[in-house]
Structure 1
Amino acid sequence: MKTWLDAWPVFRQLTGSDPLGRGVAARSKATEQVVSRTATADRVVTSVCPYCAVGCGQRVFVKDEKIVQIEGDPDSPISRGRLCPKGSASKQLVTSPSRVTTVKYRRPYATDWEDLDLDTAMEMIADRVLDARAKGWQEQDAGRRVNRTMGVASLGGATLDNEENYLMKKLYSAMGAIQIENQARI
């Protein structure tokens, strides 16, 4: 006959076959019904942590097109499945209810910021890049043909990997920019 004492986890731990409390002694009806978020995911996407230049590998677990968990990728030669505290909390970067999803913009001479949707902001950026390219365009310099713009420059950050910097170099070169630098470390 079971008593209240048998249901007490500490008693089960001390008198049972699990003195460290890491197995049967720690189990309850509630824990038997718990299913991990990774077990119910529809798919797993590999990614890279966005926080620093190390480039730790991440596994992003997705269910119903929503991120349910982010963990370190054990197949990553860089981090071997480990993440720092910022990388471990990166799920909050995309799922937090306080995440900013609009672009803050203050028009010239305005005193207040306004929210713009991303499509509008991207169109404004594209228009300004093309305008800067056109205004700074040089066809010749001291009689030599150069076909370049001095109105656009790029400085890549350390969180960009070599492949991203390669693509940026191609993009800016195609636009005619010649002032292109980066500090890729991975």
Structure 2
Amino acid sequence: MTSDDVLAIFRKAGAYLEGHFILTSGLRSPVFLQKARVFMHADLTEELCRALAKRIEDALGTRPDYVVGPAVGGLIPAYETSRHLKVPAIWVEREAGVFRLRRFEIEPGAKIVIVEDIVTTGLSIRETIECMRGLGAEVLAAACIIDRSAGKADVGVPLIALAEYEVPAYPADALPPELAAIPPVKPGSRSL
């Protein structure tokens, strides 16, 4: 599956939005990839996550013990990707603003892959890595459906992306005039 194939699925689902968006990272962008509109279609989600699972297996040459998703955005892709890898899916949740593994236990030395929906700066993955390493897990890699940074985000482990798509993103105080003229909306889930 190519990056163009992935973006075609987002367009088909009405998930490729244009306007002025406040991203989870706090940056502003003229494009928002609303993965929830893709994830509401089980067939499209299955197609993307099957391809991501294959990409993970090809990159690692092995299967992890667990797939870990950062809540809320990573829950669905982590679950569906884990189904194709035939390993359990677990997730971290924010507790007092910090990711914690609240509902599950893992054994020290467990090999994990973090699966995220869309990466811009990689902050959620880095926070998940910190949580998992604190529990003694070995983080083999992180994976995402779309890497909005086109390989520029440093997540601290190898990042396996199904698609790379660089979309401009700006600090709020450095917006181009055409973007500043549009009222911003914040469709992400970081505060959840």
TM-score w.r.t. the length of structure 1 is 0.26
Indicate the structure whose relative CO is greater, using CA pairs within 8 Å and at least 6 residues apart: 2
TM-score w.r.t. the length of structure 2 is 0.25
- Structure of higher CA gyration radius: 1
